[in-house]
Structure 1
């Protein structure tokens, strides 16, 4: 609009001429009637009074409404999972954080607002201060401090299999049922994942799936799978369901299983071997968690087939534990004595169970009554030979081996002589090393 200059945003008042209104309509500027006014000068006529309002929609909307325009997703879009694409991963930022009243691009002193009205005997007036060059840097630091996500550190004793991930973590005892409280119980997460169901109207409907085992660490345990819209709801639902499906596991002397066994669930198989006191839990991390919940302290488990299917692994292990036979039950079933041979006892036979009825005199094959592989269903565990160190392939090793081969049994023979009292004392050995003539008196 040539020849026209205006102080502010163009707003047409009722006092303007029809010629001015027509020009503004041609320029597609809004025509409204306001109460405030500025002086507009035109080159072709005398000054006229134009009404305007120095305001926009930015100070008429709240911060939530403005952020909703940036991050807002329709209800249908939320159900179809379009929120991340719409917002681009943006988070809300409090733009008031770090701001100080009276400080802007131009620092001002406003008596009664950001400073005192009277200072001493002087009445303060509105005045401009020198520009603060560090203002934007201070504001940005305050915003970053409030918007950055803080990593939650889990205590070392409460961590799961892999740090802060849910599998392996404890979720506490199950909720009480009536007047009964599960004292001494604990529940741990074995598997956690997000599952989705594709629907026609809602699209992908996500839920949390939790597989939890619970027990009292004294032979009582159970497991369950539950799903919920939230992860904490899935944990609570799963541990409460597991508390209603408890199973009792009989343990040998309270620390291990009664015998070796083989169990399989679909494509996952477990071969369990009993262990002596102090052996520890040498098995898959999922089975180790289950053993801790049950109260098993010493065991060795070899998992074959699908080792990543946690649910089948758990089912196979529990199935094998429930099919255990005590020593007396085995003796009654086979109508034979159960004899224990232990290395530390020099394989001296020790009868630990006998049938109540008459012992069978029929001949039995040795492989049938072998207690080690009795419950392996004809399978034998594969033990791979240990690879020799690289230095045993060098020539100097054979020379050293030939030197040690001559005295290979001397340490064991010396130990036996000490047991029976035939090993000479240190003084006797020193005397025997002396020459025969002239020194032995």
Structure 2
């Protein structure tokens, strides 16, 4: 009886279709957040011994400042971020009103480690101190250094050996301060910390100010050469609008002093910043003004300029009111080369006019082609003007063979 019942049920039963589907899961779903953070922030024991954990990253709470139901869209969800009922009326999802304040906590934004420095406030290289401005010196009693600016020229680590502490490291700073009107000074200071060394050097430079005369408030009075140990500077005065063509340290010093047009050639050990600074300040201090030159030579100082069609322009006269009658007997008396040491003048090599052709084989080939017929067009025009150019008939007669 039971077997017959099972057969009847099997005949009347409908077949069922079973479909098997695979769900792709990422490997990140199998790993917890702690394991993921450990893979980024942790360092092995061997790495800790070698010092690899010093720059390890820290964990960041990605959920900080976020609340469930509150986002950038500004929607209000009844029962979650707002009341569900107003009286007996059920509220629906709506946008936030303008006057309604948000209870969302301020989210922590990713902050850069160093703020970006404007291009005009950067130094010589990267974020290093040399070339940067550290402001005016500190006030002395009631006197404030208005209009002054201080620039760092050199910032380095130095050390010396002590008997009880061993090698002791310090910071050495060389700064220059001035008001841009001829008043400037420099100083070197050392301290265990960098900021203390800069502040100490800045205040020391303010106590060593010197005033330098400038010709028309834009350049030096004459060319000169100055040497400090193994560093030599050749300074040349330049006309208005030329600009500063010199070492970057000298350019900074000129900006602090107020010199606008100058050309300086540095030779020797140009990387010794202290020698370069000392030499330039000594050269400016020893320069002779036009009035001092007139009093020393007992002659009138006259300047010639091409923009004034080379007309003589009186610059200075002797203070006694009378110039000497004897002529100049000094050999090689030249104002441009008067202030160089030991009678030596800088060698100015003239540029070879053929260098533009000899360096390039294409230009040299073209030069040889044109060199044969040089000036022939202008010579023919001159012969036509003076009536020396033969006519076509004369040229034909000249081409006939002689009998």
Give the structure-1-normalised TM-score: 0.58
Q: 1:381 aligns with which of 311, 321, 346?
A: 346
Matching of residue 362 in structure 1 with residue 323 in structure 2: no
Q: Any idea what SS the aligned residue of 1:318 has?
A: helix
State the match for 2:143 in structure 1.
180
State the match for 1:335 in structure 2.
298
Q: Report the alpha carbon displacement of residue 346 of structure 1 after superposing the two structures with TM.
A: 4.2
State the match for 1:217 in structure 2.
180
Rounded to whole Å, the distance in 1 between the matches of 2:177 and 2:378 is: 52
Gaps of 5+ in 1: 1-69, 71-83, 101-144, 410-441
Rounded to whole Å, the distance in 2 between the matches of 1:325 and 1:279 is: 22
Q: Any idea what SS the aligned residue of 2:279 has?
A: helix
Rounded to whole Å, the distance in 1 between the matches of 2:59 and 2:217 is: 63
Rounded to whole Å, the distance in 1 between the matches of 2:368 and 2:208 is: 61
Q: Call closer, same or farther: CA 1:89–1:220 in 2, change over 3 Å.
A: farther
Rounded to whole Å, the distance in 2 between the matches of 1:247 and 1:174 is: 15
Gaps of 5+ in 2: 1-44, 65-108, 380-403
Q: 1:261·1:271 contact (CA, 8 Å) conserved in 2? A: yes
Q: Any idea what SS the aligned residue of 1:239 has?
A: helix
Rounded to whole Å, the distance in 1 between the matches of 2:276 and 2:326 is: 39
Q: Deviations over 1:404-440 (max 9, x none)?
A: 646899xxxxxxxxxxxxxxxxxxxxxxxxxxxxxxx
State the match for 1:395 in structure 2.
365
Q: Report the alpha carbon displacement of residue 239 of structure 1 after superposing the two structures with TM.
A: 0.7
Q: Report the alpha carbon displacement of residue 97 of structure 1 after superposing the two structures with TM.
A: 5.4
Rounded to whole Å, the distance in 1 between the matches of 2:372 and 2:222 is: 42
Q: Any idea what SS the aligned residue of 2:195 has?
A: helix
Q: Report the alpha carbon displacement of residue 340 of structure 1 after superposing the two structures with TM.
A: 1.8
Rounded to whole Å, the distance in 2 between the matches of 1:252 and 1:265 is: 24
Q: 2:335 aligns with which of 371, 375, 382?
A: 371
Q: Any idea what SS the aligned residue of 1:394 has?
A: helix
State the match for 2:103 in structure 1.
none
Q: Call closer, same or farther: CA 1:336–1:209 in 2, change over 3 Å.
A: same
State the match for 1:298 in structure 2.
261
Rounded to whole Å, the distance in 2 between the matches of 1:96 and 1:271 is: 59
Q: Any idea what SS the aligned residue of 1:245 has?
A: coil
Rounded to whole Å, the distance in 1 between the matches of 2:374 and 2:298 is: 50
Q: 1:208 aligns with which of 171, 179, 182?
A: 171
Matching of residue 259 in structure 1 with residue 229 in structure 2: no
Q: Call closer, same or farther: CA 1:208–1:89 in 2, change over 3 Å.
A: farther
Q: Report the alpha carbon displacement of residue 329 of structure 1 after superposing the two structures with TM.
A: 1.0
Q: How many residues align?
A: 285
Q: Any idea what SS the aligned residue of 1:329 has?
A: helix
Q: Report the alpha carbon displacement of residue 220 of structure 1 after superposing the two structures with TM.
A: 0.5
Q: Call closer, same or farther: CA 1:406–1:260 in 2, change over 3 Å.
A: farther
Q: Call closer, same or farther: CA 1:402–1:298 in 2, change over 3 Å.
A: farther
Q: 1:391·1:397 contact (CA, 8 Å) conserved in 2? A: no
Q: Deviations over 1:160-199 (max 9, x none)?
A: 1112221101111111111111111000000010111222
Q: Call closer, same or farther: CA 1:241–1:348 in 2, change over 3 Å.
A: same
Q: 1:153·1:164 contact (CA, 8 Å) conserved in 2? A: no
Q: Report the alpha carbon displacement of residue 157 of structure 1 after superposing the two structures with TM.
A: 1.0
Rounded to whole Å, the distance in 1 between the matches of 2:376 and 2:241 is: 36
Q: Call closer, same or farther: CA 1:161–1:364 in 2, change over 3 Å.
A: same
Rounded to whole Å, the distance in 1 between the matches of 2:368 and 2:378 is: 14
Give the structure-2-normalised TM-score: 0.63
Rounded to whole Å, the distance in 2 between the matches of 1:231 and 1:285 is: 22
Q: Report the alpha carbon displacement of residue 212 of structure 1 after superposing the two structures with TM.
A: 0.2
